[in-house]
Structure 1
Amino acid sequence: MQLLYSNILPLGIEEDQKTIIDAFHEQLQLADRVEIAVGYTSYASLEELDNLIDAYAIHQVCLNIGMYYIEGMPENSYHTAIKLNQKWMDNGKGEIRMIKPFKYHGKVYCFYKDGKPFSAIIGSANLGVIKLEASNRRQYELSALTTDSKEVLSIAQHIESLKEPNCSDNINNLTSVPLIREKNTALNGVELVTSVPKANIDFYSRCQAYVSFFLKLKVPKADERHLDDGKHFTKSNINVCYAAPRSKRRARDWYETQLTVGADVYHMEGYPEKNKPFFVITDDGYWFKAHTTSDNNKQFSAVGDELIMGRWLKGRLAAAGIVNPVNNTLEDTDRLGMITQEMLEEYGCDRLVFKKTGQTALDTDGTPLDVWMLSFTNEKNE
């Protein structure tokens, strides 16, 4: 057995010591299969594991995740795991499983060659050890590498027992994994937006709806992203950022969004009057002023900043790991940043819920404005 360390000052590694990550890379280089069981992951460590599997030409991989089925899984990590699991299964490389009947807190890594386990790492290190981030950069771990055939076989058998149907299942088969919402940081520091405490959200959530509306998000299918015939919402609604730029030198901001409400909604009794401002509180704790504009008050937008609605809506999808923000929409020729039906299906929600709470709040000039609640909550969180 060889002890493995973190390299964190003032407890840096000495000349005859080895770090956990170095040992992990060395064993991967010798292996053609790896079996892993950990309590926790992160989306960054999941992506790093996938990169290493490709880099070291690993033929088979199975990752067992132990704590999230009961505790709940951060949505960014969940969606990343779903994508990787599908990729590995499609390529015949392996799968990601979740342990169901109990909270598994072990951290074991077993390496195989030609069908036989030859080494294992066991200790305190979750998968995040392979990709350090701000949250775990100063977190010290201690593990051990063993090449003893009996110890390695015992660890291999332990992981195999975790893969039995009575202990775990493929993550794609689990529809009841509770998701933990990631914080949307796209509205941080925006002048016209205020963060409110959870007590405020709870209060307005409990308010009986005077009226409420479903605002359907109109987006194309993934295979329609390059169709510009006006029928597939590729340059309208929340994807208006892919419309022609306002100037030849300046691309539209990826967060630019138009919420276009259908006639079946804006003709309904109780829908906000045109150009009459109201306050919005979102289900994730943001507060800003909004209004309806355009013909038949079909445009629903924030007052004073056309990017606020997009920062809230697209920021939620980005925080969940569904899409990556695009710095320059003119350079996104593959339109990977375009919101599609498949993305909304992955998130679990394709519409907003817009509820009049019956409450009012004073504007800066003392005018009382109605307070509406706007929700974009995926089904697993609802």
Structure 2
Amino acid sequence: MHGREGFTQAQYEAAIDLATFLKDKGIGSVHVSTAFKFHGKTYLFSKAEKPIPVSGMMGSSNLGNILDSRQWEVDALFKEENILSELNTLHEELIKKASKDILNWPKPESFIETPDLLKDRIDVDKADEEEYRKIESTLTDRVFDLPLKTEAKSNLNAYFGKGRLATKTGAIRPRHWYEVELIVPIEITQADGYPEQDSIIRVYTDDGWQFNCKIQGDYGKNFRSEGDLRTLGRWIKGRLERAGCLKVGQPVTPEVLQKYGRTTISLKETADPKVWLLDFSR
């Protein structure tokens, strides 16, 4: 699809990084379908000593979302040799006849606009400007500046930390790139007016979104989106990505925040104790 419809800059850079890694390790490549639009989600799994793949999957989901998705997806698992052989031939023919190695493919002269990562999320609503201004008019003078910490394996960089244990299988599931929570210092959580521990608040963001956040952990130190931890992460990291300050797969560092121009997110109180504004504007 990207060969005809284009890439966002983040997609292109991620594909180039992956292609370079695979080439350097001698374990694969990334190809762009150039002959026609191709949106096949077909995965083959091989072993070195086997002439054909040992299993395959075909369906609607992206491979990374199979175990951790709140969307309805359908996939079929194949282990029959005749089907696996046909799928393997399809892959080989696509590579030979209908695609080019992305490292040998001309870099796009322009990129398509990066979509907002919160659009169409089931746990997020769009707040129209009139609604936002009405809530903004009820702001009090109380503002909490939540620090954005850049520890290597937590907070904004939970993706690089230890994965979650699947108790049924014993497998460790890596954390999602957009999984994020903010660890708020005790001097803020115990300050007068900060949301109470285990409370759920509705936040309206400065760029027009609304979703629920939950205050959890010892002395209410964990500030996270309710239900799906990726919601808050999509909002924060998405802003950094669209501003050209962060690439997918790279850690959030002090330099990233410095380039963006913010090291905190402002949590602003309104007249309704269950409604707050979140500000991450530059």
In structure 2, list runs of 5 or more residues that go unmatched: 1-7, 14-107, 166-170
Tell me the residue number matched to 2:84. none
Matched, 1:237 2:155: yes
Cα contact 1:214–1:351 (8 A) shared by 2: yes
Matched, 1:374 2:278: yes
Q: Deviations over 1:212-241 (max 9, x none)?
A: 20101111xxxxxxxxxxxxx111211111
Shift of 1:274: 1.2
1:310-325 map, 5 Å: 310-325=233-248
In structure 1, list runs of 5 or more residues that go unmatched: 1-42, 49-129, 136-182, 220-232, 327-336, 360-368
Tell me the residue number matched to 2:42. none
Shift of 1:264: 1.3
Tell me the residue number matched to 1:52. none
Q: Deviations over 1:328-365 (max 9, x none)?
A: xxxxxxxxx11011111100111010011113xxxxxx
Tell me the residue number matched to 1:200. 131
Cα contact 1:210–1:358 (8 A) shared by 2: no
- Cα distance change on mapping 1:352 and 1:184 into 2, 3 Å: farther
Cα contact 1:256–1:307 (8 A) shared by 2: yes
Residues in 1 aligned to 2:238 and 2:110: alpha-carbon distance in whole angstroms: 24
Tell me the residue number matched to 1:218. 149
1:57-206 map, 5 Å: 131-133=109-111, 185-206=116-137
Q: Which amino acid aligns with 1:302?
A: S
Q: Deviations over 1:41-91 (max 9, x none)?
A: xx96xx99xxxxxxxxxxxxxxxxxxxxxxxxxxxxxxxxxxxxxxxxxxx
Q: Percent identity?
A: 31
Cα contact 1:184–1:315 (8 A) shared by 2: no
CA RMSD of aligned residues (A): 2.4
Tell me the residue number matched to 2:36. none
Residues in 2 aligned to 1:235 and 1:260: alpha-carbon distance in whole angstroms: 13
Residues in 1 aligned to 2:185 and 2:112: alpha-carbon distance in whole angstroms: 44
Residues in 2 aligned to 1:237 and 1:134: alpha-carbon distance in whole angstroms: 30
The 3-state SS of whatever aligns with 2:164 is: coil
Tell me the residue number matched to 2:221. 298
The 3-state SS of whatever aligns with 1:342 is: helix
Q: Which amino acid aligns with 1:215?
A: L
Count residues in correspondence: 174
Cα contact 1:201–1:284 (8 A) shared by 2: no
**Which of 243, 247, 268 does residue 355 from structure 1 map onto?**
268
- Cα distance change on mapping 1:268 and 1:134 into 2, 3 Å: closer
**TM-score of the superposition, structure 1-length normalised?**
0.43
Matched, 1:266 2:182: no
Residues in 1 aligned to 2:147 and 2:176: alpha-carbon distance in whole angstroms: 22
The 3-state SS of whatever aligns with 2:140 is: coil
- Cα distance change on mapping 1:263 and 1:374 into 2, 3 Å: same
Residues in 1 aligned to 2:144 and 2:197: alpha-carbon distance in whole angstroms: 16
